[in-house]
Structure 1
Amino acid sequence: MGAQLRVYKRRIRSVTATKKITKAMEMIAASRVVKAQRKVAASTPYARELTRAVTAVGTGSNTKHPLTTEADNPTRAAVLLLTSDRGLAGAFNANAIKAAEQLTERLEREGKQVDTYIVGRRGVAHYNFRERTIAETFTGFTDEPSYADAKKVAAPLIEAIQSETADGGVDELHIVYTEFVSMMTQTAVDSRLLPLRLEEVAEESATKGEILPLYDFEPSAEDVLDALLPRYVESRIYNALLQSAASKHAATRRAMKSATDNAGELINTLSRLANAARQAEITQEISEIVGGASALADATAGSDN
């Protein structure tokens, strides 16, 4: 019985140490998600207004440009998948990967060849394990992405959208990321970055009571769109990176809180088992003492006779 009690005590010490670690990770994730939320809130207005500006320029001109003009027969699309470099985030990465795979299947059913670009080691590992082709990977910055990281990710995508499909270019650019809704809700979503759907943006602005501005173009609308293209793609990718980072930290916080709570319950269960084992050990010792005393008394009485 003593050996069983030692096993319980050893497990209690081990689970208690694990609980301290998960509690610390929960606190760190909570701190990081607040910082990420602030960055998302700061970057969203710029991305939204830049989208409105591009829409206004595209609507007010007849210029054919990759930002605003759809190909007559699109045959190739790029999909940018945003995952994290680290795990311990519940279903965060699995949901984003699932959304990307569903988008890829839909594009392929439409007869389009899909080039996949992946941010984050988890997504890269998933595709490499299944021996799927990846156009380009980006890792090492998903916890705290900067605008420089967004520019690095955007560069090959901008080059692809500006090139002809015969030269390895693409007709469409899609992005899959996890949208931060609240601390408890994060949703994997896909969005088409290019070509921009002018009608949808215009309708959304009209629904909100907003009026798209009118512009005079100098030197020309095409030059303005050329200047806006990299800024638009970079700002949208940067905002998506920040949304994914905030979502990942929120998912980590939730997972670590669950682990901490489970560790507490396990400690309580093990403590009850240890107490029961200790009580059984004490009861057995008392029984042995009583039995020994009774046997000694009987032996003494027999010798006296």
Structure 2
Amino acid sequence: MGAQIRVYREKIKSTQSMAKIFKAMELIATSRIGKARQRVSASGPYADAISRAVAAVSAQTDIDHTLTTQRADVKRSAVLIMTSDRGLAGSYSSSVIKEAEALIEDLRSRGQEVDVYLYGRKGQAYFDFRQREYKGFWSGHTDAPVHETAVEIGEKLLEEFVKGAEEGGVDDVHLVYTRFDSMVTQEPTSGKLLPMTKEQQEEAEAGSKGPLPLFEFEPDAYSVLDELMPRYIESKVYVAMLLAAASELAARQRAMKAAGDNAGELIKKFTRLRNNARQAEITQELSEIVAGADALSA
């Protein structure tokens, strides 16, 4: 009985230590979510302004530009998948990967080749374990993105898009990430990043307060779109990174709270088992004392 009580005491002690870790990680994630949401709000107006500018140029001119022209025969697509660098965030990364797999399967069913680009070590681990190839990989600060990484990703994707499939590049670019709607709802989503679709242009126009502004282009509209194109993709990638970061922190906060609650239940269970074992030991000792007394008095 004594050995059994010691086992339960060790289990209680180790579970209490884990509960402290879970609580600390929950508090860290909770403290960072507010800043992540502020960064999302701060980046939104710039990204919307870039989208409205591109939509305005497209609406006011009739030019055939790479940014806004859909290619007739898409042979190869790029898919950028945003996961996390660390675990302990519930199903956050697995949900994004599931969404990406569905998109990749859909593209391949149309006869398109797919080049995969990864942001986050969890995505890399998934593809490495299955020995599947990917064309690019970035990591670091998935829960606190830096703009320099978005610029680097945007430049690489834009380079491949401008080359086109005929020259070893891609004909369109897709993005898979987790959209942060609220602390309760984060939705894995996918969408086309390049070229800018008609729906995206209409959405940018609808989001504009009042009619789109009239521009005068110097030296010409084509050159303006050339300058806007890298800024457009960088802003879209960066906003997606910020939304994914807020989603990751919210998922980690929920996961750590659930883990802490489960640890509390385990502590209660082991405490009851320890008390039962102690009571059984005391009962056995009393029985032995009574039996010994009866034997002496006989």
TM-score scaled to structure 2, two decimals? 0.96
Q: Equivalent residue of 1:67, what SS?
A: coil
Is contact 1:55-1:198 (8 Å) kept?
Answer: no
Task: State the AA in 1 paired with 2:44.
Answer: T
1:303 matched to which residue of 2? none
Mapped pair 1:76 → 2:76: yes
1:189 matched to which residue of 2? 189
- Give me the whole-angstrom Cα distance separating, in 1, the residues matched to 2:199 and 2:188: 24
Is contact 2:80-2:176 (8 Å) kept?
Answer: yes
1:167 matched to which residue of 2? 167
**CA deviation vs aligned residue, 1:66-122 (integer Å, no higher than 9, x gap):** 210111212111111101111111111111011111111111122221111110111
1:99 matched to which residue of 2? 99
Q: Equivalent residue of 1:254, what SS?
A: helix
Task: State the AA in 2 paired with 1:149.
Answer: T
Instruction: Please report how far the alpha carbon of residue 208 of structure 1 lies from its aligned counterpart in structure 2 after TM superposition.
Output: 7.6
Task: State the AA in 1 paired with 2:212.
Answer: L
Mapped pair 1:45 → 2:10: no
Instruction: Please report how far the alpha carbon of residue 249 of structure 1 lies from its aligned counterpart in structure 2 after TM superposition.
Output: 0.8
- Give me the whole-angstrom Cα distance separating, in 2, the residues matched to 1:124 and 1:61: 42
- Give me the whole-angstrom Cα distance separating, in 2, the residues matched to 1:76 and 1:27: 44
Mapped pair 1:22 → 2:22: yes
2:218 matched to which residue of 1? 218
Q: Equivalent residue of 1:78, what SS?
A: strand
2:116 matched to which residue of 1? 116
**Distance 1:203-1:19 versus aligned 2 partners, 3 A rule:** closer
Give 5+ residue unaligned stretches, structure 1: 299-305
Is contact 1:86-1:121 (8 Å) kept?
Answer: yes
Equivalenced residue count is: 298
1:302 matched to which residue of 2? none
Give 5+ residue unaligned stretches, structure 2: none
Deviates more, 1:57-66 or 1:18-27: 57-66
* Structure with the greater alpha carbon radius of gyration: 1
1:284 matched to which residue of 2? 284
- Give me the whole-angstrom Cα distance separating, in 2, the residues matched to 1:204 and 1:238: 17
2:36 matched to which residue of 1? 36
Is contact 1:202-1:212 (8 Å) kept?
Answer: no
Deviates more, 1:25-34 or 1:204-213: 204-213
2:128 matched to which residue of 1? 128
- Give me the whole-angstrom Cα distance separating, in 2, the residues matched to 1:34 and 1:264: 27
- Give me the whole-angstrom Cα distance separating, in 1, the residues matched to 2:210 and 2:244: 28
Instruction: Please report how far the alpha carbon of residue 212 of structure 1 lies from its aligned counterpart in structure 2 after TM superposition.
Output: 2.1
**Distance 1:200-1:228 versus aligned 2 partners, 3 A rule:** closer
Deviates more, 1:229-238 or 1:207-216: 207-216
- Give me the whole-angstrom Cα distance separating, in 1, the residues matched to 2:48 and 2:110: 29
Task: State the AA in 2 paired with 1:34.
Answer: G
1:152 matched to which residue of 2? 152
Task: State the AA in 2 paired with 1:14.
Answer: S
Mapped pair 1:179 → 2:192: no
**Distance 1:214-1:24 versus aligned 2 partners, 3 A rule:** same
Instruction: Please report how far the alpha carbon of residue 129 of structure 1 lies from its aligned counterpart in structure 2 after TM superposition.
Output: 1.3
CA RMSD in angstroms, aligned pairs only? 1.4
Deviates more, 1:116-125 or 1:64-73: 64-73
Instruction: Please report how far the alpha carbon of residue 207 of structure 1 lies from its aligned counterpart in structure 2 after TM superposition.
Output: 7.9
**Distance 1:41-1:222 versus aligned 2 partners, 3 A rule:** same
1:141 matched to which residue of 2? 141
Task: State the AA in 1 paired with 2:175.
Answer: I
Mapped pair 1:55 → 2:55: yes
Q: Equivalent residue of 1:187, what SS?
A: strand
Q: Equivalent residue of 1:118, what SS?
A: strand
Calculate percent identity across the aligned residue pairs: 50
Deviates more, 1:103-112 or 1:226-235: 103-112
Is contact 2:78-2:173 (8 Å) kept?
Answer: yes
Instruction: Please report how far the alpha carbon of residue 210 of structure 1 lies from its aligned counterpart in structure 2 after TM superposition.
Output: 4.2
Q: Equivalent residue of 1:183, what SS?
A: coil
Is contact 1:150-1:237 (8 Å) kept?
Answer: yes
Alignment of 1:218-297 (within 5 A): 218-297=218-297
- Give me the whole-angstrom Cα distance separating, in 2, the residues matched to 1:208 and 1:222: 22
